């Protein structure tokens, strides 16, 4: 983190912002500020090179054509890849999982190369996965169920270098028959959960903030967030 300000990268919101996932950057900024940490969001659009020096990065969901545009931009300006290699946390949502993988196949059957930040591939499912999703996290630092809203047709298969983020309790998840959801590799966490994800999962938000700041954070007492979590987890059942 820079000496004075936590810099949160919102990557390509002009093409990867279809489902309101930019809200994840807002949650990171607000939870940092509530602890007295100065924080700002740096929007990285198609007009910008991708910097490698930000403290944490977020990417959102999109449709097929937008995914292609985003993939080309990230291949041309590999700052995100370099940031992840340096250990800066990256949160990738839905279509961003596919862009960060080795390749993804479009609904028309065309295979498109990704940027290979994640050891995974994605093929189309016959049926769309849509609805509430609840999972049990499988990574250190997370103990509470994760919840979100999935809306995708991807069947994502993990390679040996990528590990699942969570095991599915309710919903579809990665959709490849393994009963898991998302992918974690190095400093990258990816998931199919919208919501925005971090509004519904404050433990994960703080996990990313701790990685970004290198500091243990005291919990925030926000009863309204607890009520939201209970409501959405109950809705999945």
**For residue range 29-73, what is the model confidence (pLDDT) as tens digits?**
999 999 999 999 999 999 999 999 999 999 999 888 899 999 999
From CA 75, how far away is CA 79, in angstroms rounded?
A: 9
Q: How many other C-beta atoms can be found within 10 angstroms of the C-beta atom of residue 34?
A: 11
CATH topology of domain 6-236: Rossmann fold (3.40.50)
* CB burial readout 149-188, b (16+ within 10 A) else e: bbbbbbbbbbeeebebbbebbbbbbbbbeeebbbbbbbbb
**Domain boundary assignment for the chain:** 6-236
Which single residue is written with the structure tokens 């047709």?
Answer: 153
Set 73, 88, 152, 194: catalytic member: 194
**For residue range 70-87, what is the model confidence (pLDDT) as tens digits?**
999 999 999 999 999 999
User: CA–CA distance from 9 to each of 96, 134, 181 (Å)?
Assistant: 14, 27, 24
Whether 152 is catalytic: no
Write down the pLDDT at residue 3: 59
Whether 194 is catalytic: yes
Q: Which of 97, 70, 88 has its CA nearest to residue 175?
A: 97
Q: Which structure tokens are listed for 196?
A: 């925005």
Write down the pLDDT at residue 237: 72
* CB burial readout 4-20, b (16+ within 10 A) else e: eebbbbbbbbebbbbbe
The DSSP result for 198-237, as a single string, is: HHH-HHHHHHHHHHHHTS--PPP--HHHHHHHHHHHHHH-
Set 94, 102, 152, 207: catalytic member: 94
Residue range 212-233: mean pLDDT, rounded:
92
From CA 153, how far away is CA 131, in angstroms rounded?
A: 12
From CA 76, how far away is CA 78, in angstroms rounded?
A: 6
Question: According to the annotation, is 128 in a ligand binding site?
Answer: yes
Phi, psi of 207 (to 5 degrees): -60, -45
From CA 160, how far away is CA 215, in angstroms rounded?
A: 30
**For residue range 116-175, what is the model confidence (pLDDT) as tens digits?**
999 999 999 989 999 999 999 999 999 999 999 999 999 999 999 999 999 999 999 999
Residue percentage of the chain with pLDDT more than 70: 99
In Å, how far from its chain's centre is CA 62?
13
Write down the pLDDT at residue 109: 85
Question: Would you say 118 and 186 are in contact if contact means Cβ atoms under 8 Å apart?
Answer: no
């Amino acid at each position: 983190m820079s000496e004075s300000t936590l810099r949160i990268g919102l990557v390509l919101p002009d093409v990867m912002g279809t489902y309101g996932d930019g809200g994840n950057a807002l949650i990171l900024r607000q939870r940092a500020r509530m602890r007295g940490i100065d924080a700002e969001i740096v929007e990285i659009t198609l007009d910008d090179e991708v910097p490698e020096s930000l403290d944490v990065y977020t990417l959102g969901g999109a449709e097929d054509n937008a995914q292609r545009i985003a993939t080309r931009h990230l291949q041309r300006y590999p700052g995100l890849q370099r940031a992840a290699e340096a250990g800066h946390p990256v949160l990738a949502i839905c279509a961003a999982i596919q862009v960060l993988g080795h390749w993804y196949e479009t609904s028309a059957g065309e295979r498109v190369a990704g940027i290979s930040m994640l050891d995974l591939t994605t093929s189309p499912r016959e049926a769309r996965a849509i609805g509430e999703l609840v999972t049990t996290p499988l990574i250190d630092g997370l103990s509470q169920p994760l919840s979100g809203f999935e809306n995708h047709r991807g069947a994502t298969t993990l390679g040996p270098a990528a590990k699942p983020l969570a095991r599915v309790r309710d919903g579809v998840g990665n959709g490849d028959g393994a009963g898991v959801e998302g992918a974690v590799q190095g400093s990258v966490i990816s998931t199919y959960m919208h919501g925005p994800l971090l509004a519904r999962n404050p433990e994960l938000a703080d996990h990313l903030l701790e990685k970004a700041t290198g500091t243990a954070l005291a919990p925030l007492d926000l009863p309204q967030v607890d009520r939201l979590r209970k409501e959405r987890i109950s809705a999945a059942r």
